[in-house]
Structure 1
Amino acid sequence: MGQHHKPNHSSAPAKPGSEAKIRLDKWLWAARFYKTRSIAKDMIEGGKVHYEGHRVKASKEVTVGAQIRLRQGFDEKTVIVTALCERRGNATAAASLYEETPDSIEKRELAAAQRKSISAATPGSANRPNKKQRRQIIQFRHQQSE
């Protein structure tokens, strides 16, 4: 009766100019930006991912040459899509799917250096505050908010 069509599940990335259609959430997962597709979808819906400078839905089709800006933890990355793949491969295969812009690399390194200098300047405590110290902290914060 009906013929079943199997989608192309090759692990090799699609080359520029090919007509592969891949959802944004699936591409972000395959490129190893997020651990699961549902996390990628949540990030897209939360406005943490911008495709060509615009907020989009997780079902947006990715094209080669597109610019994607995304947040990962403290870092914000801007990448250019160089290939399409709907299967999650190893890290080297994932890195071949995109190219980070030089401006993005520079901003990330600067932000990391700032975070490192701030954490080095902040005195660390050897142990947790005791009950009296916690009460003093709470009282101090309460006075600051008034």
Structure 2
Amino acid sequence: MAVEHADDDRTSGTTGPDPNRRTGDAAAAGATGADGNSPESAPAPTSGAGPQEGDAKIAAAVAAAEAAGPKTGETVRLDSWIWAVRLVKTRSMGATACRGGHVRVNGERVKPAYSVRVGDEVRLRGEGRERIIVVKRLIRRRVGALVAAQCYVDNSPPPPPREAIAPAGIRDRGAGRPTKRDRRELERLRGLLGGDHPEDR
């Protein structure tokens, strides 16, 4: 009889470990997860970084601005700085604006070679508005808009609506040269649009 029971055990497959059955440790690990929490209580993965992603972008912009800064002991020209922070499209345009009196630093007209310092207030007139900028970082190379925004504090008033800006100096074809009255009207329009002021000449 004992032999028959042994044969029954071998044929039924109950004497050896079941290869499809999980061991106690593996089953416990699967039920609780690697961190000891059950699958239901495990935190769901987040789809995006949210505020941390924005902080990382700002941190990268600050690092890029620091890398674009001058070496120890070097100065930065005004025309170079306003070009680097994207206030003007080209450096030559920045120099022309300084020579024309459209750029003031701390209320004073300065030359393009003026050495900018942290804390200076730069006022730039052009394109129908006045920009009021406080220097926060000195840089020598032109950078992207996000990096440039980390180099100054913008205290500018909001730009006027587009419909409030009237085109100045447009005359009908064949109207001839402007009269004195026309020139006075043009000067008034230029003053409204931040152009040349007669007292700055």
- Shorter-chain TM-score above 0.5: yes
1:116 matched to 2:163: yes
**How far has the Cα of 1:12 moved from its partner?**
2.1
Structure 1 ranges of 4+ moved more than 4 A: none
CA distance in structure 1 between the aligned counterparts of 2:84 and 2:165, rounded to whole angstroms:
34
Q: Is the 8 A contact 1:11 1:89 kept in 2?
A: no
Q: For residue 93 of structure 2, give the secondary structure of its aligned residue in structure 1.
A: helix
**How far has the Cα of 1:89 moved from its partner?**
1.1
Q: Which ranges of structure 1 fall in alignment gaps of 5 or more residues? A: 1-9, 120-128
Question: Which position in structure 2 is the counterpart of 1:22?
Answer: 76
Greater length-normalized contact order (CA 8 Å, ≥ 6 residues apart) = 1
- The TM-score normalised by the length of structure 2 is 0.47
- The TM-score normalised by the length of structure 1 is 0.63
**How far has the Cα of 1:19 moved from its partner?**
4.6
Question: Which position in structure 2 is the counterpart of 1:39?
Answer: 93
The total of aligned residue pairs comes to 110
Question: Which position in structure 1 is the counterpart of 2:188?
Answer: none
Higher strand share: 1
Q: Which ranges of structure 2 fall in alignment gaps of 5 or more residues? A: 1-64, 167-171, 183-201
Q: How does 1:76-95 map to 2 (within 5 A)?
A: 76-95=130-149
1:68 matched to 2:122: yes
Q: 1:51 aligns with which of 105, 117, 124?
A: 105
Q: For residue 67 of structure 2, give the secondary structure of its aligned residue in structure 1.
A: coil
The alignment-based identity, stated in percent, is 35
Per-residue CA distance 1:9-67 (angstroms, 9 max, x = gap) = x862549xx75410000001101011111000000000000011000000000000100
1:12 matched to 2:71: no
